[in-house]
Amino acid sequence: MLRPQTLKEGRWIFLVLVIFMLAGWLASPWISAAFLALIIYTLAFFRDPERVAPADPDAVVAAADGVVADIGEIEEPEVLRASMRRVGIFLSVFDVHTNRAPVEGRVIYRQHHEGLCLDARSEHCSTKNEAMTWAFENPRATIVVRQLTGAIARRIVGWSNVGDELRKGERFGMIRFGSRTEVYLPLDATLLVKVGDRVVGGQSVIARLS
């Protein structure tokens, strides 16, 4: 499914590719065809399907599509400043890149951080890459989410603001091209995924709150 809000984030990319496709036709139909293939791929990248989140109020869903790259206990340094369990999700260039609220709740924190664009699989990307940190609060818990750029992803987009009330699985932003999304969970939450699992943003349950 293609959504106007999501496609809008790629408008300049589409414009450049169309210009090169038309210009390439003058040189060779093969060059034009190559740019047409890139346009089709880019349309696929900006797909944004509808998802139905589980109704269970204790369920925490993945904030992004991708593969669980790592899980570990870490000090969350920005919002709660407490030990939490971090679930890192790696998004390849073939994954849907819309980010979704892991729980129903109010956005209580949103902060952008300048940084590098290291490979999202690098052990240093979590602390050195450009990022945007979010926190979602409800009576059960506060869940922190970090959007991180990668070597290819160079733009983090936020569609929600502090004070917004979001449904579980509702879109709050996206990252353009390969990247990483981290979900910070309370230590007493029951983890339901392991490293290597593929998850679907807004739909796959990664943990249950106690």
Q: How far apart are CA 116 and CA 190, in angstroms?
A: 33
- Kindly state the tokens that stand for 82: 């407490």
Residue type, 6: T
| Cβ contacts of 68-71, under 8 Å, gap ≥ 24 | 68/193, 68/194, 68/195, 68/196, 68/197, 68/198, 68/199, 68/206, 69/121, 69/180, 69/195, 70/195, 71/191, 71/193, 71/194, 71/195
- Kindly state the tokens that stand for 47: 């797909």
How far apart are the two ends of the chain, measured CA to CA in Å? 35
State the greatest distance between any 2 C-alpha atoms of the chain, in Å, as a whole number: 63
Residues annotated as part of the active site: 179
